[in-house]
């Protein structure tokens, strides 16, 4: 199996084909696929999904995928890696709204569930996504001043729209009460703020009893609320270790650990290895072609 890499912050590619030139493969970067025209089947991690014009897919790193076409089809691929994400996070630190953008992306990565097929776009967002993708496509041939900067803003807009639609459609487990879903959403939003994730503060925020919070997690999440929080936090940390070059003390500070030692002990307790050993293990992985 081919493993593809991206050696620049982002890349845009579009083409029309009668048959897909790519066999089953995976890559080490993120990829948004917008279907410009045609029909076919998208195979993702052994699952298959029909696609048509204006469908949108989010393909995450280490995801096996390929397509089969029914007719001539057009694709727009938007690829980006951790270098691009870190640049957006750094540029947004002086603006609180922009600084939260990277967290919205992580919300997608941890909760988007790529096996569910195309991103379900709200009716009002379908024309917006189409317009943004067309603008990105047109920008490929433009030679105007600040075209690269404009393209990056369009890409950021597209990712933000995807994040919103994942939250609206894919993050609402059937059979769970609205209050319970709101609690999960709150935890995801404030995963970087340990004080806000204390049970008494969550109960106060939603004006509900501590008993309700406890009962909800006892019923819907193995191990209770604190276990759910640590599992979610560790899953985000694994993304940091796998797809960024952040130092361990930086990760510890971002997620509210008292220091690097506390972070290391917590990670090793739940994952069986230290963060540094986990990262070294990733570096030793050899791609199979």
- Residues 32, 42: Cα–Cα separation, whole Å: 13
Per-residue model confidence (pLDDT) at position 116: 59
Per-residue model confidence (pLDDT) at position 174: 47
Per-residue model confidence (pLDDT) at position 169: 60
For residue 139, what are its two tokens? 């920008």
Per-residue model confidence (pLDDT) at position 228: 86
H-only helix segments in the chain: 82-91, 96-99, 101-111, 126-139, 147-165, 178-189, 199-206, 210-220, 224-243, 248-254, 260-271, 275-283
For residue 283, count other CB atoms closer than 10 A to its CB.
Answer: 6
Per-residue model confidence (pLDDT) at position 288: 42
Identify the burial level of 201 via C-beta atoms within 10 angstroms of its C-beta, where 0-12 means exposed, 13-18 middle and 19 or more buried: middle
**Structural domains in the chain plus CATH codes:** 2-170 (2.60.120.280), 178-283 (1.10.10.60)
H-only helix segments in 101-166: 101-111, 126-139, 147-165
Identify the burial level of 148 via C-beta atoms within 10 angstroms of its C-beta, where 0-12 means exposed, 13-18 middle and 19 or more buried: exposed
> pTM of the predicted model, to two decimals?
0.63
- Residues 187, 160: Cα–Cα separation, whole Å: 19
Per-residue model confidence (pLDDT) at position 81: 79
Q: What is the β-pairing status of strands 73-80 and 47-52?
A: unpaired
Which residues contact residue 205 at a Cβ distance below 8 angstroms, ignoring those fewer than 6 apart?
A: 186, 196
- Residues 243, 208: Cα–Cα separation, whole Å: 38
Q: Please give the backbone phi and psi of residue 16, each rounded to the nearest 5 degrees, phi first.
A: -120, 135
Handedness of CA 113, 116, 119, 122 (dihedral sign): negative
Per-residue model confidence (pLDDT) at position 176: 47
- Residues 137, 161: Cα–Cα separation, whole Å: 18
Q: Along the 289 residues of the chain, how does pLDDT read in single tens digits?
A: 788 888 788 899 999 999 887 789 998 888 999 999 999 999 998 888 999 999 999 888 888 999 999 999 999 999 987 677 666 665 555 544 545 666 666 666 565 555 557 888 887 898 999 999 999 999 887 777 788 889 988 998 898 888 777 766 654 444 445 566 678 778 877 888 899 999 999 999 988 888 888 887 777 666 788 888 898 889 888 878 877 778 999 999 988 999 999 999 999 999 999 999 999 887 665 444 4
- Residues 88, 78: Cα–Cα separation, whole Å: 16
Per-residue model confidence (pLDDT) at position 286: 45
For residue 71, what are its two tokens? 């007719």
Per-residue model confidence (pLDDT) at position 102: 64
Residue 70: name the closest of 35, 117, 18, 25 by CA: 18
Residue 11: name the closest of 150, 157, 151, 153 by CA: 151
Kindly state the helix (H) or strand (E) to which residue 73 belongs, with its residue range. Answer: strand 73-80
């Amino acid at each position: 199996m081919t493993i593809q890499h991206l050696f620049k912050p982002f890349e845009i590619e579009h083409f029309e084909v009668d048959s897909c030139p790519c066999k089953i493969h995976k890559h080490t970067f993120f990829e948004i696929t917008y279907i410009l025209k045609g029909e076919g089947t998208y195979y993702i991690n052994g699952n298959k999904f029909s696609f048509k014009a204006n469908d949108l897919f989010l393909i995450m790193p280490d995801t096996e995928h390929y397509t089969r076409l029914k007719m001539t089809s057009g694709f727009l691929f938007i690829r980006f890696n951790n270098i691009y994400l870190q640049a957006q996070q750094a540029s947004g630190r002086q603006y609180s709204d922009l600084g939260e953008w990277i967290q919205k992306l992580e919300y997608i990565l941890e909760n988007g569930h790529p096996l569910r097929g195309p991103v379900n776009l709200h009716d009002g967002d379908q024309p917006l996504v189409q317009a943004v993708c067309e603008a990105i496509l047109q920008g490929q041939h433009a030679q105007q001043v600040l075209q690269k900067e404009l393209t990056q803003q369009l890409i950021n807009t597209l990712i933000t729209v995807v994040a919103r639609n994942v939250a609206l459609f894919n993050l609402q487990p059937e059979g769970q009460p609205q209050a319970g879903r709101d609690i999960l959403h709150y935890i995801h939003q404030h995963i970087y703020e340990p004080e806000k994730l204390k049970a008494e503060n969550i109960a106060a925020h939603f004006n509900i009893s501590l008993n309700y919070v406890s009962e909800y997690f006892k019923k819907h999440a193995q191990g209770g609320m604190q276990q759910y929080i640590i599992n979610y936090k560790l899953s985000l940390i694994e993304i940091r270790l796998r797809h960024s070059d952040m130092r361990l003390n930086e990760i510890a500070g971002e997620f509210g650990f008292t220091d690097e030692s506390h972070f290391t002990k917590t990670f090793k307790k739940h994952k069986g290895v230290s963060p540094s050993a986990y990262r070294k293990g990733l570096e030793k992985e050899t791609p199979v072609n």
